[in-house]
Amino acid sequence: GGDGGDGDDNQIVAGTAPGFRPFEMNEDGELVGFDVDHLEAVVDETDYELTSWEEFEFDTLIQALNNGNIDVIAAAMTINDERREQIAFTDPYYSADQSVLVQTGGGFQPSDLDDLAGRTVGAQSGTTGEGIIEDEVEDPDYRSYENYVYAVEELEQGRIEAIVIDQPVAESFEANREVEIAFTFETGEEYGLGVRQDADDLREALNEGIAAVQESGEYEEITRKWFDE
Ligand code: ARG
């Protein structure tokens, strides 16, 4: 963290919340994913140096940033006004919608959010998926999880009936677990990197890095690596 004075002003620490394939996950004890490659490529385009990655539960990332434990959030975090009251975002780097996951062969086949009324529905704490359940599902029996991986385990066991989750991650769970996408609905969410509200220099540098990585073709390469396997 750049707390003023001398040489380490340009060193930054990144924070993320793994368990969100293909954006961030632990593989053989190593943190990998789209966000890891993307942020590293973006920072490479700047005068900053990324010294380490720290892992948190998703709903503690904003606090970790504002405490100074980390300097940038790279966690498939959707840019929205509620979060903008606490942190600043870079330009968007990825667009996503939301999907509803159900147990494969479980018999429950909802086709819209109305069909989730009164059902047992899960999401990761602090996510936009959680917000949708709270705001758009009538009288849900809402179950909050620290991590979507735990929610998917509960869904596989039939202990909950549905999960609301970002569509690219839903596709990954569908490919790897006993769950399937019932339907996808448009939210037009855009992911941004999160920085402290007073970190104007860092935010501007990251914006230039995001643009450079897109123009160089590196963005496309990273996308191909994590989405076409
Ligand atoms: N895009 C959603 C949001 O911003 C979910 C992000 C969850 N990210 C994670 N690394 N678990 O709320």
Give yes or no: residues 23 and 85 share one domain: yes
Residue 45 forms part of a structural domain: yes
Helices (H), 94-217: 128-136, 148-156, 167-176, 200-215
Is 127 part of any domain? yes
Does 63 share its domain with 175? no
Q: Do 102 and 147 share a domain, yes or no?
A: yes
pLDDT of 63 above 50: yes
Residue 145 has phi, psi (to 5 degrees) of: -125, 145
Residue 63 in domain: yes
Q: Which atom of ligand 1 is nearest to the CA of 191?
A: 1
Domain membership of residue 44 (yes or no) is: yes
Whether 4 has a pLDDT exceeding 70, the answer reads: no
Q: How many angstroms does the Cα of residue 222 sit away from the middle of ligand 1?
A: 19
Residue 118 CA to ligand 1 center (angstroms) comes to 24
Q: Is residue 221 part of a domain?
A: yes
Structure tokens that stand for 31 in this block: 């943190």
Across the range 74-101, mean pLDDT stands at 98
23 CA → ligand 1 middle, Å: 9
Same domain, 104 and 182: yes
Beta strands 94-103; 179-191: pairing state: antiparallel
Q: Do residue 158 and residue 215 come from a single domain?
A: no
Protein residues whose CB sits closer than 6 Å to any atom of ligand 1:
17, 20, 23-24, 58, 75-78, 124, 127-128, 166, 189
Same domain, 172 and 112: yes
Expressed in angstroms and rounded, the spacing between residue 127 Cα and the centre of ligand 1 is 5
Q: What is the 58 CA–ligand 1 centroid distance (Å)? A: 7
Are both 159 and 182 inside the same structural domain?
Answer: yes
- Domain, as residue range, for 175: 96-188
Within-domain flag for 2: no
Give the position, in ligand 1's atom list, of the atom nearest the Cα of 18: 10
Tokens 């009538």, located at residue = 138
For the stretch 92-150, pLDDT in tens is 999 999 999 999 999 999 999 999 999 999 999 999 999 999 999 999 999 999 999 99
pLDDT category at 9 given cuts 50, 70, 90 is: confident
CA angle 87, 93, 95 (to 5 degrees): 100
Between CA 101 and CA 96 the distance in angstroms is: 15
Same domain assignment for residues 135 and 51: no
- Separation of 165 CA from ligand 1 center, angstroms? 8
Report the nearest atom of ligand 1 relative to the CA of 35: 10
CATH number of domain containing 157: 3.40.190.10
User: Smallest Cα–Cα separation from 12: which of 203, 197, 192?
Assistant: 203
Query: How remote is the CA of residue 9 from the centroid of ligand 1, in Å?
Result: 29
CA of 23, closest atom in ligand 1 = 10
- For 37-47, the pLDDT digits (tens) are 999 999 999 99
Q: In the structure, what pLDDT confidence band is assigned to residue 5 with cuts at 50, 70 and 90?
A: very low
Instruction: Indicate if 223 and 180 belong to the same structural domain.
Output: no
202 and 182 housed in the same domain: no
Per-residue pLDDT at 229 exceeds 70? no
Residues 169 and 203 in one domain: no
- Residue 192's contacts (CB-CB under 8 Å, 6 or more residues apart) are 77, 78, 79, 89, 90, 91, 92, 93
37 is a domain residue: yes
Whether 6 shows a pLDDT value over 70: the answer reads no
pLDDT of 3 over the 60 cut? no
Domain count, the chain: 2
In ligand 1, the atom with minimum distance to the C-alpha of 24 is: 10
User: What's the ipTM?
Assistant: 0.98
Shared-domain flag, residues 174 and 119: yes
Inside any domain, residue 1: no
Residue of minimum CA distance from atom 12 in ligand 1? 127
